[in-house]
Structure 1
């Protein structure tokens, strides 16, 4: 089945290009660091737990043959949204406070950007979108402490 919804690698590149346009070099560098961190996170995602066993099996097979970027090559916007809440947990929140604030802010912006850009892929994601917005709020509160 062919889809017009791009894979996560294209989504993340397009998002970074959009949000980075017209930004200062220091802000652009911070955005880039966060997106690299997100890519590292996606490399570690346990798709069985987050997306289900069929997706987990597919991802495991892809990682076996072409490990780097497997998640970003295989999955689309809704899969990304399913994974975003864990990107904001303490284990993955960046240590530098400015980077952590940017990570939270960009995750929020990415969620809104994806929802606006790919509404057809978000059709069944209401619970995951809510979970993601809760994770964003919780991460902001933890960072303020």
Structure 2
């Protein structure tokens, strides 16, 4: 499996996802991306192993801006996505929230389909994020 940084992954996924979309949809995708980046840099560390969290702290001591997305890979991203669907990180507007839930679910599926994470090895985490997305769709009117 190739190792790409979270930065490379997000740039590629969101570029391909927004391609050919209407201006309003592409703008929503941009807001979701901005929120995801903020989430990763703010709370992403909580889902890392202690060794990985210490590495992030060290990186931030030298270059704090965008440290998470520069340093980590697809597996680290996968393990943080459940938290991105928590109520405190959901975007306020209904359409933005729907887009956030939908794109998070699609991002997990994309990570697996591109073999950036091993769906078999990380099956429980994949299911956890997809289940969280489904709950958010039902409970918060976030169907896509």
TM norm. shorter chain > 0.5: yes
Return the match for 2:122 from 122, 125, 143: 125
In structure 2, C-alpha distance between the alignment counterparts of 1:119 and 1:38, rounded to whole Å: 19
- Give, in angstroms, the shift of residue 118 of structure 1: 2.4
Aligned residues: 142
Is it true that 1:56 corresponds to 2:65 in the alignment? no
Tell me which stretches of 4 or more aligned residues in structure 1 moved more than 3 Å.
119-123
Q: Which residue of 2 aligns with 1:35?
A: 33
Is it true that 1:10 corresponds to 2:8 in the alignment? yes
- Give, in angstroms, the shift of residue 4 of structure 1: 2.6
Q: How has the CA–CA distance of structure 1 residues 14 and 119 changed in structure 2, closer, same or farther, with 3 Å as cutoff?
A: closer
- Give, in angstroms, the shift of residue 124 of structure 1: 2.7
In structure 1, C-alpha distance between the alignment counterparts of 2:117 and 2:88, rounded to whole Å: 32
Q: How has the CA–CA distance of structure 1 residues 80 and 120 changed in structure 2, closer, same or farther, with 3 Å as cutoff?
A: closer
- Give, in angstroms, the shift of residue 45 of structure 1: 2.2
Unmatched runs of 5 consecutive residues or more in structure 2: none
Return the match for 1:70 from 67, 70, 75: 67
Query: What's the C-alpha RMSD, in Å, of the aligned pairs?
Result: 1.7
Q: TM-score, normalised by structure 1?
A: 0.91
Contact 1:77 1:118 in 2 (8 A): no
In structure 2, C-alpha distance between the alignment counterparts of 1:72 and 1:122, rounded to whole Å: 21
Contact 1:107 1:136 in 2 (8 A): yes
- Give, in angstroms, the shift of residue 44 of structure 1: 1.0
Is it true that 1:93 corresponds to 2:90 in the alignment? yes
Unmatched runs of 5 consecutive residues or more in structure 1: none
